[in-house]
């Protein structure tokens, strides 16, 4: 007797193959979604790492004076509430105590808006705006990048800008930062980091840093 497949077996095989063919597009779509999700997660982590690194630097290159430790800078802002009290080295709200925040003895202004980032990220950065490139920096996968890092899976384009924003506020209003840039220096710098991948997505993260100076740490003097 000759071996052969029954009609029932043939029908079952056709049904199984049909189901497999129907699920293939769903599997491909799911894989594509997972890849896109992983790419965006990597982009967010890269952007977060860059911003976290930036915020460890001085607020401004003029913030440090060897004779005064960390000082609060004067700005060209129109909000007088945040400026120094005339004739003093303090402003409203500053405690008049040793080792507390204070202005420089002589008027020392923050970097002008036109000069933000002029030191360039390729030079040794000494304040937040040194990371301001204004043009994309490419992160190549699995290759060393002196500015950003290495061992990324996808090619990412990162653009960083730092600018002053309005430090005025209205009493009783909803607290909301205005992201428009100011022509004069204010007491708030906004770092904007945009990261893309061949125009597949566009992710923007922002961080804000204020001109509050820093307290000198209490320590033993010998």
Map out the domains of the chain as residue ranges. Answer: 9-210
Q: What is the mean pLDDT of residues 21-49?
A: 69
Residues whose CB falls within 8 Å of the CB of residue 56, separated by 6 or more in sequence, listed in order: none
What pLDDT score does 163 carry?
A: 92
Q: The pTM is what?
A: 0.73
- pLDDT tens column, 116-130: 887 766 667 888 988
Q: For residue 177, name the pLDDT band (cuts at 50, 70, 90).
A: low
Question: Poorest-confidence range of 39-43, 102-106, 137-141, 162-166?
Answer: 137-141
Residue 58's CB: how many other CB atoms inside 10 A?
17
CA 181, chain centre distance (Å): 16
What pLDDT score does 188 carry?
A: 92
What pLDDT score does 146 carry?
A: 47
Three-state secondary-structure class, residue 158:
strand
Q: How far is CA 169 from CA 58, 75, 79, 83, in A?
A: 25, 17, 9, 14
What pLDDT score does 148 carry?
A: 47
What pLDDT score does 189 carry?
A: 93
What pLDDT score does 185 carry?
A: 92
Contacts 24+ apart (CB under 8 A), 196-200: 196/43, 196/136, 196/156, 196/157, 197/39, 197/43, 197/154, 197/155, 197/156, 197/157, 198/155, 200/36, 200/39
- The two tokens of residue 57 are 């630097």
Identify any residues that bridge with 193 across adjacent strands, giving them in sequence order. Answer: 160, 205
Three-state secondary-structure class, residue 5:
coil
Please tell me which residue, 108 or 36, carries the higher pLDDT value: 108
What pLDDT score does 201 carry?
A: 76
Most confident of the ranges 42-51, 61-70, 140-149, 211-220: 42-51
End-to-end Cα separation, the chain, in angstroms: 107
What is d(CA 20, CA 114) in angstroms, rounded to the nearest whole number?
62
Nearest residue to 203 via CA among 215, 212, 194? 194
Q: For residue 9, name the pLDDT band (cuts at 50, 70, 90).
A: confident
Largest CA distance in the chain: 114
Please tell me which residue, 38 or 101, carries the higher pLDDT value: 101
């Amino acid at each position: 007797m000759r071996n052969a497949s029954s009609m029932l077996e043939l029908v079952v095989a056709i049904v199984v193959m049909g189901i497999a063919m129907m699920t293939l597009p769903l599997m491909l779509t799911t894989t594509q979604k997972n890849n896109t999700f992983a790419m965006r997660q990597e982009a967010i982590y890269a952007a977060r790492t860059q911003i976290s690194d930036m915020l460890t630097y001085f607020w401004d290159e003029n913030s440090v004076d060897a004779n005064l430790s960390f000082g609060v800078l004067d700005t060209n802002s129109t909000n007088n509430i945040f400026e120094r009290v005339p004739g003093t080295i303090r402003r409203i709200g500053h405690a008049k105590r040793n080792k507390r925040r204070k202005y420089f003895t002589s008027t020392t202004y923050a970097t002008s808006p036109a000069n933000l980032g002029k030191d360039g990220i390729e030079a040794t950065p000494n304040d937040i705006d040194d990371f301001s490139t204004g043009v994309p920096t490419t992160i190549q996968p699995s290759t060393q990048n002196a500015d950003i890092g290495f061992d990324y899976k996808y090619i990412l384009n990162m653009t960083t800008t730092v600018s002053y924003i309005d430090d005025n506020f209205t009493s009783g209003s909803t607290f909301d930062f205005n992201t428009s840039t100011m022509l004069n220096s204010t007491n708030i710098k906004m770092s904007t980091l945009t990261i893309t991948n061949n125009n597949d997505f566009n992710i923007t993260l922002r961080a804000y840093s204020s001109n509050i100076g820093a307290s000198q740490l209490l320590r033993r003097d010998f």
